[in-house]
Amino acid sequence: MRSVFYSNKHSEIVKKGIEAITDVLNGDNISEKESLLLCLDKFLDPYFGYELPYQSEIIMLLQHFIVNDNPVEIKQDAIDLLTSYAWPPFSILEKNLDKIEVELLPMVNYAINMDIM
């Protein structure tokens, strides 16, 4: 079992914009990636009332995160964000199914097909 936490530092990264978020998610620090994804859960959840002007860019970034070289358990977090706060089409996932780990394919296929279920 893993424990993931985020701090004000991560909230500030999200508030800085898509470039700051991209820097962390494309970086090498796995624990920072985990923390930022958890923090994004708060910012993407409509309950908390945040309206990020770059939310569509975050959705694209999450798709790239899933098809790129990242640990599977963190990719699962990114897929959870997509299925919770976004809606297909997820064109990056659709075009890169061959890059998705076998254990993630059911989750990714669910995400891609949410609009027809």
State pLDDT tens for residues 67-77.
999 999 999 99
Residue 106 has pLDDT above 90, yes or no: yes
Type of residue found at 63: Q
| Contact of 64 with 51, CB cutoff 8 Å | no
Average pLDDT score over the chain: 96
| Contact of 37 with 81, CB cutoff 8 Å | yes
Residue 2 has pLDDT above 90, yes or no: no
Residue 3 domain flag: no
Residue 1 has pLDDT above 80, yes or no: no
Residue 5 has pLDDT above 80, yes or no: yes
State pLDDT tens for residues 44-57.
999 999 999 999 99
Confidence (pTM): 0.95
Residue 1 domain flag: no
Q: Which residues span the domain enclosing 88?
A: 8-116
Residue 2 domain flag: no
Total structural domains in the chain? Answer: 1
